[in-house]
Amino acid sequence: MVKSRAGKGALGGILTIVFLGAVSYFGWHIGNKYWDFYQYQDRMRQEARFAAHRSDILIRRRLTSYADSLGLPEAARKVTVRRRSGTIHIWAEYYDIIEFPGFVREVHFHPEVVATF
């Protein structure tokens, strides 16, 4: 007697595709938040590199504009710049929201750069 196997693996394949789709979807949203953080911190490093030629006001203005272009929360636009004897310290602090089905997670970000010039 020969038994039909048609469709036996279809449910497993569909579940695998649904699982991979969910992981990709949520990974994309989480990844974007962290990618924006790393881009913002990298821009802070760049501003610190050229700190000898730029005023604190200009650095703040450029970083505020960049945070706005990334679509970061309002708090990310409050950039602090401190200089002391050839050293510059640039930082900001903000919370961003990551939504999952059934719950929302608030993540604390603190981009910071300390450099000498």
pLDDT tens-place values along the chain, 117 residues long: 666 555 566 777 888 888 888 888 878 888 999 999 999 999 999 999 999 999 999 999 999 999 999 999 999 999 999 999 999 999 999 999 988 778 899 999 999 999 998
* pTM exceeding 0.85: no
Give the model's pLDDT for residue 2.
60
Distance CA 79, CA 91 (A): 6
